[in-house]
């Protein structure tokens, strides 16, 4: 009987906590320049990923310099070239929309890149650092895959068909890079780091 009473008390406390969190949460007011429709959100998100891709062109050489595995270095070098193409595609996409290519700081990518720097600083050169570089790189890829997938869905709804083609081409390259990183980690690097 005591168990049932304890469970009942715990259930009531959990319900009370849920109710409290619902009543204390506040609605966030929109900024003055907030997106008013999907087109605005789409453009704002393009600015965000444009910043992210440009930042990545600066971060990848550092990752490559700190990697020791030759296959990993080659994969990073290849992705640097692809990332430069991604930047160009985004510039072309802005132009197709009749907009100036503008970058807006991407807090998410900044956080992921900062974490990547920390991983490099907190690991010894060699297989452990290589495993850390792959982990950090895959976080970047997963963020980009999510972003380009969302942008492609927006472009489709907005009937930005030429922009959609660019976004889908980049999305495929991001997925292939993620698969390559996974195979490098699975085949050799994670075992060496053990």
Q: Tell me if the pTM is above 0.75.
A: yes
pLDDT of residue 32: 83
| Cβ count near 40 (within 10 Å) | 12
Whole-angstrom Cα distance, residue 131 to residue 191?
9
Altogether, the residues listed in the chain come to a count of 194
Q: Cα separations (Å) of 61 from 39, 57, 69, 80, 111?
A: 34, 7, 14, 8, 18
Whole-angstrom Cα distance, residue 59 to residue 143?
15
| Per-residue tens of pLDDT for the chain, all 194 residues | 455 555 555 556 655 555 555 667 888 888 888 788 999 999 999 999 999 999 999 999 999 999 999 999 999 999 999 999 999 999 999 999 999 999 999 999 999 999 999 999 999 999 999 999 999 999 999 999 999 999 999 999 999 999 999 999 999 999 999 999 998 887 666 666 66
- The tokens for 103 are 């970058």
Name the residue among 118, 105, 112 with its Cα closest to residue 138. Answer: 112
Give the list of residues 6+ apart from residue 175 with CB closer than 8 angstroms, or none: 141, 145
| Cβ count near 142 (within 10 Å) | 13
The structural domains of the chain, ordered by start, are 49-193 (1.20.1260.10)
Name the residue among 11, 49, 30 with its Cα closest to residue 152. Answer: 49
Q: How far is CA 29 from the centre of its chain?
A: 26
Q: Cα separations (Å) of 178 from 81, 94, 102, 104, 152?
A: 15, 26, 27, 25, 18
């Amino acid at each position: 009987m005591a168990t049932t009473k304890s469970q009942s008390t715990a259930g009531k406390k959990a319900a009370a906590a849920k109710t409290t969190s619902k009543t204390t949460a506040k609605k966030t007011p929109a900024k003055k320049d907030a997106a008013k429709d999907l087109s605005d959100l789409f453009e704002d998100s393009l600015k965000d990923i444009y910043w992210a891709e440009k930042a990545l062109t600066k971060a990848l050489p550092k990752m490559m310099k700190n990697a020791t595995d030759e296959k990993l270095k080659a994969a990073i070098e290849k992705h640097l070239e692809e990332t430069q193409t991604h930047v160009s595609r985004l510039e072309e996409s802005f132009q197709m929309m009749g907009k100036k290519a503008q970058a807006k700081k991407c807090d998410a990518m900044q956080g992921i890149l900062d974490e990547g720097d920390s991983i490099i600083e907190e690991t010894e050169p060699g297989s452990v650092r290589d495993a850390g570089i792959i982990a950090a790189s895959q976080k970047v890829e997963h963020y980009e895959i999510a972003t380009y997938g969302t942008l492609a869905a927006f472009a489709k709804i907005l009937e930005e068909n030429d922009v959609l083609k660019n976004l889908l081409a980049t999305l495929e390259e991001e997925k292939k890079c993620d698969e390559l990183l996974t195979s490098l980690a699975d085949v050799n690097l994670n075992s060496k780091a053990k």
